[in-house]
Amino acid sequence: MKSYSLSLIFLLFISSTAFSKLTVGDEKLAIDTLKKEKNYILHSKSENVASVSFIKKAKANTVYIKFGFQSTAPSSSSVAGVVNQNNKTYMENVASSLVFDKIDILSGSYADIKVTSYSKLINLYELSKVEYPLRLKLYSGKERIDLELLEKGEWNIQIDLKNN
């Protein structure tokens, strides 16, 4: 009996250690999620994604995703103003290419997607006729976001990239 319980403890330890160290390439799989609420889950995001916010409004069947750079406040210093202006010009050039290269639909579906320029630094994606729960993996260059919407509604999702 003692050896049976010792064997059981050993097997549980090995299996829990193996599960916590699952890897895909050089990247560890997240065992837990970054943020989980009753009606959405943020499973993961890449390092350069500063924040992802979710707002659910009416019971419409549309998802709006704003994707781009956080806005920067203008500086009162003329030297800092020149630096900010150069950084802003760089970000505007990058923002013109802020598109999702690939969207994986892991569950649910949507009938149509429209992309418009919301501002010089943000693109707006509109997904219509959505079937829930909807889980998407969004890819833009090296950036990736894995999110899931659990309830029907009009969703406004803001994905802000870091101003590097």
For 159, residues 6+ apart whose C-beta sits below 8 A from its C-beta are 49, 51, 52, 65, 66, 67, 68, 138, 145
Task: Please give the residue range of the domain that contains residue 149.
Answer: 31-161
- Count of the separate structural domains present in the chain: 1
Measure the CA–CA gap between 100 and 10, rounded to whole angstroms: 45
In a domain, 26, yes or no: no
In a domain, 54, yes or no: yes
In a domain, 56, yes or no: yes
Question: Do residues 153 and 146 touch, judged by C-beta distance below 8 A?
Answer: no
In a domain, 7, yes or no: no
In a domain, 80, yes or no: yes
In a domain, 134, yes or no: yes
Q: What percent of the chain has pLDDT over 90?
A: 51
| pLDDT (0 to 100) of residue 87 | 53
Reported confidence tier of residue 10, pLDDT bands at 50, 70, 90: very low
pLDDT higher than 90, residue 147: yes
How far the first Cα of the chain sits from its last, in Å, is 60
Q: Quick: pLDDT tens for 118-131.
A: 988 999 999 999 99
